Chain A
Amino acid sequence: MLRLLQIEFIKLWNNRASKILIFSYFILICCIALISVIKFPFGEGIRLADLGIFNFPYIWHLNTFIASLLKLFFAIVIVSMISNEYSNKTIKQNLIDGLSKKEFLKSKLSMVFAFSIISTLFVFLVTLILGLIYSDYNQPSIIFSDLYYLLSYFIKIFAFFSFCIFLGIWVKRSAFALGFLILWYIMENLGIRFLVWWLFGQKSSESVMPFLPLESMANLIKEPFTRFNAVQSVAQQIGENFTKDYSTHWYEFLIVLVWTALFIYLSYALLKKRDL
């Protein structure tokens, strides 16, 4: 396994473009900390940090949500790391040199797995530091509650990256694969959502959506903004009441894990079936 990871590392690390993108991705994660300096120009200026958005344990939810938006950026690295193998025909050379198709996929997957872990660690550290600086509650029991958001984050990005691997192998061209990713997103959110709505009504649309790949990944970390105290009190004043379930259920994990397994299996089946 270490050998496969090393092989992938040589390929990525010597490519300047992907090196820059990888660095930028992790720097962007650190940039989440910059939210703390946002000031609203009311009166003397209210800092966002002073409103309590960095309070434990809410901050775990907020930061994992924001960090997971950056995954789209990393998708570029993954898709191009797959499709370059096709356009340079190096996948053919790798196989001739004695890598099996299974090992080829494994080396890509283990790289993606490693990046997901590192990314999760980064989010953990950035969040912990931000929280320790700004949070109103600093008891360990509060700090380390709701840590399951990190698990959700990890599964969410790993599933998404597996989807990217599948798209890269399927489409073989990085630009088209990324285009297809966006097209897929539109298809899920406009196509299927409204098609089902139109045919069978809103209820069935709402019950179908959680089973779609990108929507199910999004469901692992629900949007955190309406959960925020300040937003809720404002909403109550104007007579709106958010009663939303923000927690993640076991079956939501299960759906994502099934999709992940399916993407990995389909990638392997495609690799195996195709002549190069």
Chain B
Amino acid sequence: METILTVNHLTKKFGYLTAVKDLSFTIEKGNVYGILGPNGSGKSTTLGIILNVVNRTSGDFSWFDGNTSTHEALKKVGAIIERPNFYPYMTAIQNLKLVCKIKEVPDTKIQEKLELVGLWDRRNSKFKTYSLGMKQRLAIASALLNDPEILILDEPTNGLDPQGIHQIREIIKQIASQGTTILLASHLLDEVEKVCSHVVILRKGENLYSGPVESMLASHGFFELRCSDLDKLKELLEKNASFGKIENFNGTLTAYLKEEMDAESLNKMLFEKGIVLSHLVKRKESLEEQFLTLTKNN
């Protein structure tokens, strides 16, 4: 598989504070990556380093095959960091023309990209007259001008209203479906869960996990069960070796699996023992729960 970005033992210190500590990960073409971490965990600093605006203290990173200089590589990258930064006195078109000049691409794609984010009608308005949502969408259009190999988004829905968040997510999904590699930094886990196939989890600048979303926790999931005789059900499950912790919450039993078991066989087994379930759901921990478990205990 083609490698887009390799990060090796990257460290960044701001005085006494270590913002990024010995971080390594790779990004392969075609996947959608999420960088997760609480506020101040080094997400933006990491992105700042690979995007040439923050100097690293030690370690290194390389774009693509490793033979291109960072600023040349960035011409094949689309990136949005924190707030959208454009020249306030220039219109959307003028701003995008400038970006085309910097990225050395022809400015023929401006119309297509502005239409994609729904700003073509406002193309001749000055940037300073835009709402935050529009500014963010213009930033996405700008990042897509060169049809990038990888799109890097840092908190793209920060500070937006629900409509704005929805619009941005739709655009991201649309781009992901076209096969563009995406690196999305966020602390909004449902956002990441919806679009990402791989995650890198940071805490205080350290890499806690990097890999596919599914194998994040070695867990077999859990059952949510309801029936008329909860006590009998609980007793039965406690005797079964497949189950670990069992919790009763508001008339629903949550039974955590220690080994793999499907819902059908559980149902069959319980029925044979004379218990008829009124509610049976097998679930995996959500990304949020897994994330909290990972970042809490280490």
Tell me which of B54, B88, B99 contacts A97 (CB under 8 A): B99
**Interface stretch of the complex, out of A10-18, A127-135, A228-236:** A10-18
The residue in chain B whose Cβ has the minimal distance to the Cβ of A99 is: B102
Residue of A nearest to B14 (CB): A275
Kindly report which residue of chain B lies nearest to residue A10, judged by CB atoms: B98
A94 CB within 8 Å of chain B? yes
Task: Give the residues in chain B near A15, CB-CB below 8 Å.
Answer: 87, 89-90
List the B side residues contacting A10 at CB < 8 Å: 90, 94, 97-98, 101
> CB-CB < 8 A to A7: which residues of B?
98, 101-102
* Residues of chain A lying within 8 A (CB to CB) of residue B86: 88, 90, 93
CB distance from A276 to the nearest CB of B (A): 4
Which residues of A sit under 8 angstroms from B102, Cβ to Cβ? 7, 94, 97-99
Contacting residues, chain B, for A275 (C-beta < 8 A): 48, 53-55
Considering residues A90, A97, A99, which has the most beta carbons from chain B within 10 angstroms of its beta carbon? A97
- Residue of A3, A14, A90 near B85 (CB, 8 A) is A90
* Nearest A residue (CB) for B89: A15
User: Are B85 and A93 closer than 8 Å at their CB atoms?
Assistant: yes
Within A43-92, which residues are at the interface with B (CB < 8 Å)? Answer: 88-90, 92
Cross-chain contact B87 with A11 (CB below 8 angstroms): yes
Taking CB atoms and an 8 Å cut-off, the chain A residues in 1-24 that contact chain B are 3, 6-7, 10-11, 14-16
Give Cα A99–Cα B79 distance, bound, in whole angstroms. 13
Binds A, one of B66-74, B252-260, B289-297: B66-74
CA distance A15 to B91 in the complex (A): 11
Inter-chain contacts of B70 with A (CB < 8 A):
100
Cross-chain contact of B104 among A3, A16, A89, A100 (Cβ < 8 A): A3
Q: Is the CB of B88 within 8 A of A100?
A: no
Number of B residues, CB within 8 Å of A: 32
- Name the A residues within 8 Å of B286 (CB-CB): none
Tell me if B81 is interfacial: C-beta within 8 Å of chain A. yes
Known interface pairs A97-B74, A98-B71, A103-B71. Does A88 touch B52 (Cβ–Cβ under 8 Å)? no
Of listed B79, B89, B142, residue having the most chain A CB within 10 A: B89
Please tell me if the beta carbons of B103 and A97 are within 8 angstroms of each other in the complex.
yes
> Please, how many angstroms separate the alpha-carbon atoms of A26 and B75 in the complex?
37
In angstroms, Cα B70 to Cα A15, docked, is: 30
Interface residues on A, range: 20 to 34
**Chain B 26-55, CB within 8 Å of chain A: the 1/0 string?**
000000000000000000000010011111
Question: A3-B104, A90-B87 given as contacts; is B51 within 8 A of A95 (CB)?
Answer: yes
Expressed in whole angstroms, the Cα–Cα distance for A77 and B188 within the complex equals 43
Tell me whether A99 and B71 are in contact (CB under 8 A): yes
**Which of B71, B79, B97 contacts A100, CB < 8 Å?**
B71
CB-CB under 8 A from A92, the residues of chain B are 53, 81, 85
| CB nearest to B97 among chain A residues | A10
Q: In the bound complex, how far is the Cα of B74 from the Cα of A88, in angstroms?
A: 21
Which single member of B69, B72, B79, B94 contacts A96 (CB below 8 Å)?
B79
In the docked arrangement, what's the CA distance between A7 and B101, Å? 6
Residues of B within 8 A of A249 (CB): none
B72 smallest CB distance to A (angstroms): 7
Given A10-B94, A88-B85, A92-B53, the answer on whether A100 and B101 have CB atoms closer than 8 Å is no
Across the interface, do B85 and A98 meet the contact criterion of CB distance under 8 Å? Answer: no
Could you give 20 example pairs across A and B, Cβ below 8 Å? Answer: A3-B104, A7-B98, A7-B102, A10-B90, A10-B97, A10-B98, A10-B101, A16-B89, A88-B87, A90-B87, A95-B52, A97-B74, A97-B75, A97-B79, A98-B72, A98-B77, A98-B102, A98-B103, A100-B70, A273-B55
A contact set with B: CB distance below 8 Å = 3, 6-7, 10-11, 14-16, 88-90, 92-101, 103, 272-273, 275-276
